[in-house]
Chains A and B, each alone.
Chain A
Amino acid sequence: MIAVKKIDSVVIGAGAAGMAAAEVIAQAGCSVALVDREEQTGGILLQCIHNGFGLHHFGRELTGPEYADEFSERVRAFPVEIFLETTVVNIVPHPGFSRVITCSALHGVTVFEATTIVLAMGCRERNRGTIGIPGTRPSGVFTAGLAQRLLNIEGYIPGRRAVIIGSGDIGLIMARRLTWVGSEVAAVVEILPHPSGLTRNIVQCLQDFSIPLLLSHAVTQIYGKDRVEGVEVAPLENGVPVAEKARIVACDTVLLSVGLIPENELSCTAGVTISPNTGGPVVDHRLQTSAAGIFACGNVLHVHDLVDFVTEEAQRCGGHVVDYLRNKIPAAASVAVEAGANIKYVTPNQCAAGTAQHFYLRPLVIREKAKLAVMQGQTPVFSRNLSHVRPAEMISIDLDNKIMGGLELDRPLTFSIR
């Protein structure tokens, strides 16, 4: 017999986002199940053994596992039912609730009939296939996160001389980590003219160890029959690799840190609409997706720069879930949100006139002394001067009740950077 559990909320994923949302929901007295496929709560934070987490949220510097532990303890202090080593295989929406179908070796199949769902599955790494690096297919090509897992949790050194493709934060952290275990990092190769990761990681992980960062360069070929033997690196001119200037860098390992993709295959089974700009669900001002009662927060919604902001967003999301469960959703007139000049995306995709709203946005450009403007058509709504903007860093904006109260209903709210 399949166990069926009626519950107020199922939170899918027990990483930073899921734990923070589950805590808020449980704190309000609602019944909540926290489901994760791994053996422990904490998600990807557990393999991030470096420090730098928690400066915004806790006002002190923690390692990933320490940050995760804070929340693991808090969810255990509330009556949150935690289901580990449990995989959600399907979500079937019904009017007023959804069936969340899970399986595990321990419990077999469990079906939750949940009034609400919080999607908090995080993201996955783009890989060699997604970016299409030509060449042979030897062993020794890892995504940076897989290499991090193998090294920090399993205790294995992926290789002795690495080239890192992409200057995303995980790649930068892994450049330093490999150096610390005595492996050599021949180069970090970035196709853009600027680094993709945070400035502090460029300084602390590359410059402090004299690891070369090759900007505007591409790895154009991977060599090696059984194991990686080298890569071809070429400078880019006008975005195109210059074959005559290519050189071969010998290495036994290639790590890829070329971006993250919100993992929404499960969301799609529930019929949730995905935004092409974020790769995450389209959400309203309460972080509710296009499917009623299904909410999203954290990296499954959009890829964040810092975990502290994941926590903030997830706590807000938990609050909205509680409001929904208590039928306290005030009827608010909705205003569309749009990314304008030099902005990759703004989330949420809708806001409510008259309700204070928090926005996250990602710039497309690098600027010193930029101006962020929020407009409705030609009408300025809000503006702020920024000392600098970087694609690697999210911008966080709060618009208060008063500003939001002045919005017109039929025109989108457009964010831009000049």
Chain B
Amino acid sequence: MNQSPFDVAIIGAGVCGAAIARTLSAYRLRVVLLEKEADVAFGVSKANSGIIHAGFHHPATSLKAKLEIQGNLMFEKLYYELGFPFKRVGVLVVAFSEEEMKTAAHLFSQGEENGVADLELCGAERVRALEPKVNRDAVGGLYAPGGGIIEPYRFVFALVECAIANGCVLSTGFDVSAVRRQREYFILAARSGRSVAARYAVNAAGLHADAVSAMFGAEQFTIIPRKGEEYLLDRGAEAFPNHVLFPVPAKKSKGILVIPTVEGTTMVGPTAVEVEDREDVSTSASNLKAVFAHAKHLMPSVSRRDIITSFAGMRPALATGDFYIAVSKKVPRLVQVAGIQSPGLTASPAIGEYVKELLKSCGCSLTEKPHFNPMLPKITTLRDCSPEAMEQIIAHNPQYGNIICRCETVSEAQIVEAIRKGHVTLDGIKFYTRAGMGRCQGGFCTYKILKILARETGKKMTEFTKRGGESVIVKETLSAALPRTRGAPP
């Protein structure tokens, strides 16, 4: 045992694990958050589309709909407390035929039944007024002003940061590989040899929730990985919409969307393809074509010329189609949080509360901490600042004057802040600061970030990775590779 026992161990630091950790950090509990990757949000959450759904896509009988609606309403408060990028821009479902209008009308009544406020069924003229650049063939649609957009990884980072500030312990690179019981404790052993003990456990392992459940000897279920490919368009792309644009949904997904990201880029996607390999986050040429064909149908100005990058992610789906959040019937004191696909991000804060209640129901005692601090200090950025504000920021900390990422205007001070908060991979720094996320995709700033990493951590440049594991950036130093001086004794 490396540490004294915890009250609760949460397996998986995606958006669910993070939201649960932050919720529990308000109580007198010793909580540990275990993540197998090098940083938090590096699994399913990293490739999330960043949409706060409005609550009309799922029937009222589902747990999904209940938690989606609750979660949606929690974001203003979370934004005030944690300051992650968030805008309630509204979502618009666009219909192109009378048949599709019928589906839109069904979603409208489903939404009303779910209690979604301010829903509007729109005619062609209303759709065009809301979204002037939409395809002229649109016949109508559904408008939900309560939908919004956030930066998903920044949300997870903020939740975890706040949980840590309130006493939660984060352990990255902790790949739970075996679980045994010792008296009233679960002993969770990692592949690396580390282990922790905890009285209660939460399985929020995303794509691997089925394997983790099996390690506990708990319920058998199968996570069906469903891949989604997304394409990111440059800031200033003509296709940037006013709202999140949805087509009328397909059976298994919400369809290919055009999303105005909260940071000013445009995202198109995702596809929805069930795959065998949970690690297979590759993109393909045929899906690129399909995504753009669908997106162009919604918004004709969507152009492949504006692409700055593409990526794929997985949805951890269950055959039931609903979330599975419950106390295990086979293993007391284990809470299962599985099948959290869309609208998981929206629902996550409500999932945090829901899991808290489940823990309480199986005996976990909850006493509020008197000094819980829900707030995080605001992150300073130079982008969109007036010269006067910039001058003040730089006078306070000159490292803000040194711009490292030119495309996204990210300062040395922000990189240093990310590193000091434990984000020590290139992707971690990218998701925290946006450095390398712009149009040059790290072409100009990668070496600068590596040098700052080396300076701040005292490690060698050859030790840094893109996202942990074997993903090193540079393999060797030049001096080590050069032949020894000619004529020198062997």
* A103 pairs with B279, CB closer than 8 A: no
User: Residue B394 contacts which of A1, A85, A108 (CB distance < 8 angstroms)?
Assistant: A108
One of A122-130, A200-208, A399-407 contacting the partner: A122-130
22 contacts between A and B (CB under 8 A): A2-B388, A87-B406, A89-B382, A89-B403, A108-B394, A109-B387, A125-B440, A127-B440, A129-B441, A132-B307, A134-B282, A135-B283, A136-B280, A139-B472, A139-B473, A146-B442, A149-B447, A156-B477, A157-B478, A225-B469, A226-B469, A265-B407
A85 close to B443 (CB less than 8 A): no
Knowing A2-B388, A129-B308, the reply to whether A139 touches B412 (Cβ < 8 A) is no
Which residues from A are CB-within-8-Å of B288? 132, 134
B311 contacts the other chain (CB 8 A): yes
The residues in A between 1 and 56 inclusive whose CB is less than 8 angstroms from any CB of B are 1-2, 37
Q: Is the interface of A mostly helix, strand, loop or mixed?
A: mixed
* Interface assignment of B110: CB less than 8 Å from any CB of chain A: no
- Residues 404-444 of B at the A interface (beta carbon under 8 Å): 406-407, 409, 412, 426, 439-444
> Is there an interface contact between B285 and A220, defined as CB atoms closer than 8 Å?
yes
New A-B contacts (19) at CB < 8 Å, excluding given A154-B461, A159-B475, A226-B471: A89-B382, A103-B382, A105-B398, A107-B401, A109-B388, A109-B394, A125-B440, A127-B440, A132-B307, A134-B285, A138-B471, A140-B473, A143-B443, A146-B442, A146-B443, A154-B450, A157-B474, A225-B469, A226-B470
**Interfacial residues of chain B within 434-487, with CB under 8 A of chain A in the complex:** 439-444, 446-447, 450-451, 461-462, 465-479, 481-482
Closest A residue to B465 using CB positions? A139
Q: How many residues of A contact B (CB 8 A)?
A: 55
| B310/A132 in contact, CB under 8 A | yes
Using Cβ atoms and an 8 Å threshold, which residues of chain B touch A319?
A: none
A132 to B283, CA, bound (A): 9
Identify A105's interface contact among B279, B401, B479, CB under 8 A: B401
Closest chain B residue, CB of each to CB of A158: B474
Interface residues of A in 225-252 (CB under 8 A from B): 225-227, 252
Q: Is the interface of B mostly helix, strand, loop or mixed?
A: mixed
B279 touches A160 (CB 8 A): no
A87 to B400, CA, bound (A): 11
A135:B461 contact, CB within 8 angstroms:
no
Closest to B478 in A: A155
Interfacial residues, chain B to chain A (CB-CB below 8 A): 232, 236, 279-285, 288, 304, 307-311, 382, 387-388, 390-391, 394-395, 398-403, 406-407, 409, 412, 426, 439-444, 446-447, 450-451, 461-462, 465-479, 481-482
A-B contact count (CB 8 A): 157
User: How far is B448's CA from A87's CA once the two chains are assembled, in angstroms?
Assistant: 15
Contact in complex: B443, A156 (CB < 8 Å): no
Residues on B with C-beta less than 8 A from A134 are: 282-285, 288, 310
- Given A2-B388, A89-B390, A134-B284, A227 and B471 contact (CB-CB distance below 8 Å): yes
